Structure 1
């Protein structure tokens, strides 16, 4: 998101080149969605590891219940993101 904002700011207020729009259909769009999901998965792994270390280091289930709930909720969001992202691989959007 920062890369996108930087490119648009440089184009509008500086001497930057016009940003290239990403394709919103076909194989390229499906590829971009899969890459986005893999980034989400890596961030889930890192965040989940941090939460797991905190849960195991505290070692008190009543105090870490909220952390575990957060981890479960994030896992649900990851599964929903997987379904949506890989849906574009099976059923690619068509160009209008």
Structure 2
């Protein structure tokens, strides 16, 4: 049942976000759009409440509970940037706003970008692990929460793999591509 709630919250996140942006730009209802966008984090609270209620009712913590903690961590850490990403695109499309920002293609700007994204992933991992530990403490029964301990290792593994991108860009920063020669290259004269 909790997996259905997680899926519903993911769908709800995008539905509330889209409704807020539609109200804000095409319908030009700024206050309604802002109120809907402020409601996006409420979707996370629904998932948190469902998880706590499930555990308090005597359920044995399993894969869905760990997934809920991971989802909440990533939603909190990346939610604001996802809303900003969507807002920039809607503003450009429907309100004549500037073109959306893109991630830097190369150089130290790209390296900084990758480290910032890694920082968000580290925050997501910290939040997810804190929620897992809170669930373990809430239940207070190691037999019922054994599955949650494994989730801390999963989140740590995801973070370790994620760290490869900023490390790679730090050690070998990408360079701009060479501009192609204009026109066709000069052909060599063949010996006769």
Give the 4+ runs in structure 1 shifted more than 6 A. Answer: none
Residue 88 of structure 1 and its aligned partner are, at CA, apart by 0.7
Q: Structure 2 stretches of 5 or more lacking a match? A: 1-81, 178-192
User: Which of 103, 107, 128 lines up with 1:26 in the alignment?
Assistant: 107
Counterpart Cα distance in 2 of 1:84 and 1:11: 29
Residue 93 of structure 1 and its aligned partner are, at CA, apart by 1.4
Counterpart Cα distance in 1 of 2:101 and 2:113: 14
TM-score w.r.t. structure 1 length? 0.87
Q: Please give the per-residue CA displacement for 1:24-67, whole angstroms capped at 9, x wherever unaligned.
A: 11100010000111111112112211111211332323321221
Aligned twin of 2:188: none
Work out which structure has the larger RCO, using CA pairs closer than 8 Å and 6 or more positions apart in sequence: 1
Q: Which structure features the higher share of helix residues?
A: 1
Computing the radius of gyration over CA atoms, which structure comes out larger, 1 or 2?
A: 2
> How many positions carry a matched residue from both structures?
96
Deviates more, 1:62-71 or 1:77-86: 62-71
Counterpart Cα distance in 2 of 1:64 and 1:34: 33
User: Which of 47, 54, 57 lines up with 2:138 in the alignment?
Assistant: 57
Deviates more, 1:32-41 or 1:42-51: 42-51
User: Which of 144, 161, 165 lines up with 1:84 in the alignment?
Assistant: 165
Residue 20 of structure 1 and its aligned partner are, at CA, apart by 3.2
User: Which of 56, 73, 97 lines up with 1:16 in the alignment?
Assistant: 97
Counterpart Cα distance in 2 of 1:84 and 1:23: 14
Q: Structure 1 stretches of 5 or more lacking a match? A: none
